[in-house]
Amino acid sequence: MILRRLNARLDPVNHDEWLAHIDRMKDMYPLRYDKDVLSGPYVIEKLYEVTDGDAVISTDVGQHQMWTAQYYKFKQPRQLLTSGGLGTMGYGLGACIGAKMGVPDKTVINIAGDGCFRMNMNEIATAVRYNIPIIQIVLNNHVLGMVRQWQTLFYGKRYSHTVLNDKMDFVKVAEGMGARAYRVTSKEELEPVLREAIEADEPVVIDCQIHCDDKVFPMVSPGAPIEDAFDANDLKI
Ligand SMILES: Cc1ncc(C[n+]2csc(CCOP(=O)(O)OP(=O)(O)O)c2C)c(N)n1
Ligand SMILES: [Mg+2]
């Protein structure tokens, strides 16, 4: 368990001590992911790189939201628009369009999962109608990944209502609404597509195909205290 053995002797009001502690923790438990394949963390890190960390980012709710918070190193207040623990699937695209209206000179991007994008993707038509050049990235794992992760780890892999195995083609749907659209299936394809999207003066949808069993760590078991956060090493998976 990550936190329990480290928190014990910290002075609750000594901020320097806590910041040093956080640095120690980051050294001991760096965020890790498989660098060989296209993944949510890879997309977010590349996005950070090509936008110089200056984009305004909105998210929906799920694993993609956690990866965004973990891997995009936000520099300014109000640079991340997310519904946080309220968990409002479908929030991101409308927030993104609104943000772009507010800061038209900035690159404004919504990071959604495929489940969340299904909830309000019709708003791409709104962005096209008013020519609001937002970027919509869909981290498409073909599952309700956040719920699937729990079903995998705590519910014996009983995948109830979390597999989105329909024939949805987000590229065709986006093009049908008049947006420019790309599908990205490998790491190599990502960067040029991101650069084209940032240069484009029109709404863009990017469908990034990632694996259905990628997970977000660290996490906390149902009912457990935050001190019992664990990561993949604790599970030996
Ligand atoms: C309206 C609503 N329904 C259900 C949930 C529970 N929920 C939280 S995350 C999630 C999965 C989201 O799936 P997706 O958008 O594909 O994101 P992923 O976790 O795969 O990145 C669900 C169903 C919720 N937060 N809001
Ligand atoms: Mg998903």
- The domain ranges of the chain are 36-217
Which ligand sits nearest to residue 115's alpha carbon?
Answer: 1
Cβ pair 166, 114 in contact under 8 A: no
The region of weakest confidence among 30-34, 102-106, 148-152, 171-175 is 30-34
**Better-predicted residue by pLDDT, 28 or 37:** 37
Cβ pair 168, 114 in contact under 8 A: yes
Res. 220: pLDDT tops 60: yes
Confidence (pLDDT) at 4:
58
Which residues form ligand 1's pocket by a CB distance below 6 Å?
Answer: 60-64, 87, 89, 113-116, 139, 141, 143-147
| Atom number, ligand 1, closest to the C-alpha of residue 61 | 9
Torsion of CA 73, 76, 217, 166, to 10 degrees: -90
Torsion of CA 98, 104, 107, 109, to 10 degrees: 10
The region of weakest confidence among 117-126, 181-190, 228-237 is 228-237
Contacts of 26 (CB under 8 A, 6+ apart): none
Cα–Cα separations (whole angstroms), residue 176 to 27, 41, 128, 181, 215: 47, 29, 11, 10, 32
Round to whole Å and give the CA distance between 178 and 34. Answer: 35
Q: Give residue 48 CA to ligand 1 midpoint distance, Å.
A: 24
Q: Give residue 158 CA to ligand 1 midpoint distance, Å.
A: 17
Res. 3: pLDDT tops 70: no
pTM, entire model: 0.95
Q: Give residue 56 CA to ligand 2 midpoint distance, Å.
A: 22
Choosing from 44, 61, 159 the residue with most ligand 1 atoms within 8 A of its CB, the one to mutate for a pocket test is 61
Q: Give residue 93 CA to ligand 1 midpoint distance, Å.
A: 15
| Atom number, ligand 1, closest to the C-alpha of residue 149 | 19
Q: Give residue 51 CA to ligand 2 midpoint distance, Å.
A: 24
Q: Which amino acid is at 179?
A: A
Res. 1: pLDDT tops 60: no
The 3-state DSSP class for residue 128 equals helix
Contacts of 212 (CB under 8 A, 6+ apart): 141, 142, 143, 145, 148, 163
Cα–Cα separations (whole angstroms), residue 95 to 120, 175, 183: 11, 21, 23
Which ligand sits nearest to residue 60's alpha carbon?
Answer: 1
Res. 194: pLDDT tops 90: yes
Superfamily of domain 36-217: Thiamin diphosphate (ThDP)-binding fold, Pyr/PP domains (3.40.50.970)
Confidence (pLDDT) at 231:
86
Confidence (pLDDT) at 5:
56
| Atom number, ligand 1, closest to the C-alpha of residue 90 | 1
Residue nearest to atom 11 of ligand 1 (CA): 144
The 3-state DSSP class for residue 56 equals strand
The region of weakest confidence among 3-17, 31-45, 68-82 is 3-17
Residue nearest to atom 8 of ligand 1 (CA): 62
Average pLDDT over residues 154-177: 97
